A and B are shown apart, each in its own frame.
Chain A
């Protein structure tokens, strides 16, 4: 299937090739050529990121407003479209305040450090057939590793603020990020084992070649990955680290102006990064069952990415927040065993597939069905084992009475 699109510079199916063609045409030394190409590509990705963030600030506010019977921003520009721009300008113009007793250097570095990994991740994301800035062999690992840099950055920001809320929230966030990083790694590990490569481009072409998406093969891994992602980008029900009603704004309570803007944007970028990796690994990346011949691959990719990101907006508009200890329990007692089982299961399936040499038309549906069924059984069974009801069972209504003065207290729940 892979058709090299080189040669037709106007072919928008792949934006990278015309650029590459143009640069090649300049006849430069290979080093300069390489640097120039990287610069242009980075700039393109950055531009896209900034525009996407601006767009999604508006979309999120409008969508959540819709969920809340409100109108959302509708004054600045047509339909409030310029609201994010106005917000950004406001943040830029605000006075930069540093708390008394703050560690000035680290306070200033915090937002910068947190911003870097969220952008760098996009270097390995395959936007289209040849649209990837750095086609690393360890792409999957790279994404996780780079996202891991956020953890110390969060601590530095929280600690340097010299604020108790920020400190408490930073410690919470770190504990949480580390716990869920393990879930994230295990979820992606299953995918990597199944495909046999950590190269994101190979993963996409594998899904294209085998005519399936990994979501159909390992739904549990996808769910775990998205949940862990929600922790990383502080989306409800996992938005503990900036639990607004508990700890003001969490670890960036003391940040104002554009420093706060950096955190805000970094959060969105991290969200896009999660959505991008989920798209690449579980939703077939820039392929769409042959449609990429007609629609530009990067459009397909972006469509999927935004769809995944929308799930986070949705959850933010609807779900309450878990308590920190419940969240940790969920990670260590619920998700971790399931994820380890999932990895073992997938590894076993790979071996069985190899040993039996079944054709892909038999093997893939079979594996998918087994995994989906097992995922359902495991999730429900494990939840029951840990003492969680069916979800509706634990709620109850009040008792109605007319006997004034009678005491109905049973204290069954008192711990």
Chain B
């Protein structure tokens, strides 16, 4: 991260990401919150690019903006009593505790890791390397994640299936 361009880009994206993330928690309107969440995701994708992780950046956009955000939108719109507002919640304290835990872990990792200076000579295709690693060295975790997702899908379908043998879901 030596050249000026990357540094400038980093700070811009960092500001966008953090600012939008604060907004997500602060705004009252849930849909606005989701819109800001999308901005956060986009900012994160930008940060990945400054790290020369082109594949991760694009996947971030594809999965998070194109899918996760939509999932959240569906969850909000389809929940009958969500009230469409960022309400006070009894989950405030547990959520804070969880957030503190995550933040603590990340700070620990950040200080613990040896951030060896990476050279920055433009992009090198990372897709192939990631593919190789996923299907070779990390094949087992990859498969475990797949099985987990599959069971989640099956579970979700089972949960929303209309009861009674005759009724078929539209």
Q: Which of B63-107 contact A (CB under 8 A)?
A: 65-67, 69-70, 73-74, 77
Query: Are B61 and A149 touching (Cβ within 8 A)?
Result: yes
Cβ-neighbour of B31 out of A148, A159, A174, A199 (below 8 A):
A159
Query: Are A145 and B61 touching (Cβ within 8 A)?
Result: yes
Q: Mark B33-73, 1 if CB is under 8 A from A, else 0.
A: 01100100000000000000011001101100111011001
Query: Are B123 and A137 touching (Cβ within 8 A)?
Result: yes
Q: Which of A190-205 contact B (CB under 8 A)?
A: 198-199
Query: Are A142 and B58 touching (Cβ within 8 A)?
Result: yes
Q: Is B5 an interface residue (CB 8 A)?
A: yes
Are A106 and B32 CB-contacts (below 8 A) given A174-B70, A181-B66?
Answer: yes
Bound: A152/B123 CA distance, A: 29
Query: Are B65 and A152 touching (Cβ within 8 A)?
Result: yes
User: B123 to chain A: which residues have CB within 8 Å?
Assistant: 136-137
Cβ-neighbour of A138 out of B31, B67, B69, B127 (below 8 A):
B127
- Least CB separation from A31: chain B residue: B5
Q: Is A351 an interface residue (CB 8 A)?
A: no
Chain A, interface size: which category?
20 to 34
Q: Mark A203-237, 1 if CB is under 8 A from B, else 0.
A: 00000000000000000000000000000000000
Query: Are B73 and A174 touching (Cβ within 8 A)?
Result: yes
User: A144 to chain B: which residues have CB within 8 Å?
Assistant: 62
Q: Which of A85-121 contact B (CB under 8 A)?
A: 103, 105-106, 109
Please classify the interface of chain A as helix (H, G, I), strand (E, B), loop, or mixed, using the class held by over half of its residues: helix
Query: Are B73 and A149 touching (Cβ within 8 A)?
Result: no
Are A198 and B127 CB-contacts (below 8 A) given A151-B66, A152-B73?
Answer: yes
User: B32 to chain A: which residues have CB within 8 Å?
Assistant: 103, 105-106
Q: Which of B108-153 contact A (CB under 8 A)?
A: 123-127
Give, as a whole number of angstroms, the nearest-CB distance from A297 to chain B: 24
Query: Are A155 and B127 touching (Cβ within 8 A)?
Result: no
User: B2 to chain A: which residues have CB within 8 Å?
Assistant: none
Q: Is A67 an interface residue (CB 8 A)?
A: no
Interface residues in B, total, Cβ within 8 A: 27
Bound: A173/B32 CA distance, A: 20
Q: Is A313 an interface residue (CB 8 A)?
A: no
Q: Is A341 an interface residue (CB 8 A)?
A: no
Q: Is B163 an interface residue (CB 8 A)?
A: no
Bound: A160/B170 CA distance, A: 28
User: B61 to chain A: which residues have CB within 8 Å?
Assistant: 145-146, 148-149
Bound: A208/B29 CA distance, A: 53
- Least CB separation from A105: chain B residue: B32
Q: Is A141 an interface residue (CB 8 A)?
A: yes
Query: Are A145 and B62 touching (Cβ within 8 A)?
Result: yes
Give, as a whole number of angstroms, the nearest-CB distance from B134 to chain A: 15
Q: Is A178 an interface residue (CB 8 A)?
A: yes
Are A145 and B59 CB-contacts (below 8 A) given A31-B5, A103-B31, A137-B125?
Answer: yes
- Least CB separation from A199: chain B residue: B125
Give the 6 A-B CB pairs with smallest separation, nearest first.
A148-B66, A145-B62, A145-B61, A137-B125, A141-B58, A145-B58
Show 29 residue pairs from A and B whose CB-CB distance is below 8 angstroms, ordered by the A residue: A31-B5, A103-B29, A103-B31, A105-B32, A106-B32, A109-B35, A136-B54, A136-B123, A137-B54, A137-B125, A137-B126, A138-B54, A138-B55, A138-B127, A142-B58, A145-B59, A148-B67, A151-B66, A151-B70, A152-B38, A152-B70, A155-B70, A155-B73, A159-B77, A160-B31, A171-B77, A178-B67, A198-B127, A199-B125
Chain A residues in the interface with B (C-beta under 8 A): 31, 103, 105-106, 109, 136-138, 141-142, 144-146, 148-149, 151-152, 155-156, 159-160, 171, 174, 178, 181, 198-199, 325
Please name 14 further chain A to chain B contacts, defined as beta carbons within 8 Å, in addition to the given A145-B65, A174-B70, sorted by A numbering: A103-B32, A106-B32, A137-B54, A137-B126, A141-B58, A142-B58, A144-B62, A145-B66, A148-B62, A148-B66, A151-B65, A151-B70, A152-B73, A155-B70
